[in-house]
Amino acid sequence: MDQNNLVDIGFEGHPWTWSNHWDSEGEVRQRLDRCLGSFEWCQVFEKVNCQHIDTYASDHSILSLNTHPGKEKKKKRFYFDKRWLQREGVHQVVEKAWLKEEPGSWMFRVTKKIRNCRIESLKWRSTFQANSKKKD
């Protein structure tokens, strides 16, 4: 690390990145994996953080490096407004979105079709003023 002018970024989460997963005496937990950056890089990404994420698929934890923490855009939950059913065109919008061909496994296709319906419904909704305090 010193030879290459790298610094340890630190971490959040449990203090180890590797475990032998012994359930009895003799369990070993160590921080073997680290996120490193140059001093200059750390100045550019001064709020960077590394999280240790537990996994059961491996004896190593997942390291998640976020260079812009706190900048995640929270998605608003989608709600289908039942009043839309009274508007002309909503059935066609949903049907067209659902019938769009999607590759992949059955469940993947269903998930994509639901996503398509949500996106197209939101686009359709933006074409009119939908204020619940105003009467249609």
pLDDT digits (tens, 9 = 90+) for 117-132: 999 999 998 887 555 5
Instruction: Work out the mean pLDDT of the chain and round it to a whole number.
Output: 87
Q: How far apart are CA 110 and CA 118, in angstroms?
A: 12
- Sign of the alpha-carbon dihedral angle for 113, 115, 119, 125: positive
CA atoms within 13 A on the CB side of 97: 21
What pTM, to 2 d.p., does this model score? 0.48
Give the amino acid at 130. Answer: A
Quote the strand ranges of the chain, DSSP E.
6-8, 18-19, 29-30, 36-38, 49-53, 62-66
% of residues, the chain, pLDDT over 70:
91
Q: How far apart are CA 114 and CA 86, in angstroms?
A: 21
Reported confidence tier of residue 136, pLDDT bands at 50, 70, 90? very low
Backbone angles phi, psi at 72, to 5 degrees: -65, 130
pLDDT digits (tens, 9 = 90+) for 33-71: 999 999 899 889 988 999 999 887 888 999 999 988 776
Closest CA to 55 of 6, 92, 21: 21
Question: Over 80: is that where the pLDDT of 74 sits?
Answer: no
